[in-house]
Amino acid sequence: MSIFGDIMSAIFGRSAKAETPAAGTAGPAAPAGSPAAAPASSATPSASGAPAASAAPAATVDVAAVLDALAKKNKQKLNWRTSIVDLMKLLDLDSSQTARKKLAEELHYSGDTKDSAKMNVWLHKQVMIKLAANGGKVPADLKD
């Protein structure tokens, strides 16, 4: 699996547990079943955009809420909102420079990977943008 795939799995897989702490069932199965509502939209072609809008919230995961909940439980003070390294640590993923370079390759970083500070800022922004594009609710300030 890709590093970004690991990030998505760690966040989206924990979303159900973060929203309902008492739930002992597997959370990732619920979002996978949500596309079943989509076929109903073909029955009403006159509804302009309404079916698409109603389908989106079912698959949306509040990324900030999931990560904030993880941060509260973590012994380290990790600033996942600005640091790709802290985000990866919070998700129990390899945050080494090698792993971040691999992530940069996956996300098609065209800059100099030897300039780790610039690459890290770019990575954080791109991860937030990609999470939002894949069903995550990400605050606007984290995508800018």
% of the chain with per-residue pLDDT over 70: 68
Please report which confidence band the pLDDT of residue 37 belongs to, taking 50, 70 and 90 as the band edges. very low
* Cβ count within 10 A of residue 137: 16
Q: Which residues of 71-106 are buried (b: 16+ CB within 10 A; e: fewer)?
A: beeeeeebebbebbbbbbbbbebebeeebbbbbbee
| Res. 110: pLDDT tops 60 | yes
Q: What is the pLDDT of residues 121-135, one digit of tens each?
A: 999 999 999 999 999
Please report which confidence band the pLDDT of residue 144 belongs to, taking 50, 70 and 90 as the band edges. confident
| Res. 139: pLDDT tops 60 | yes
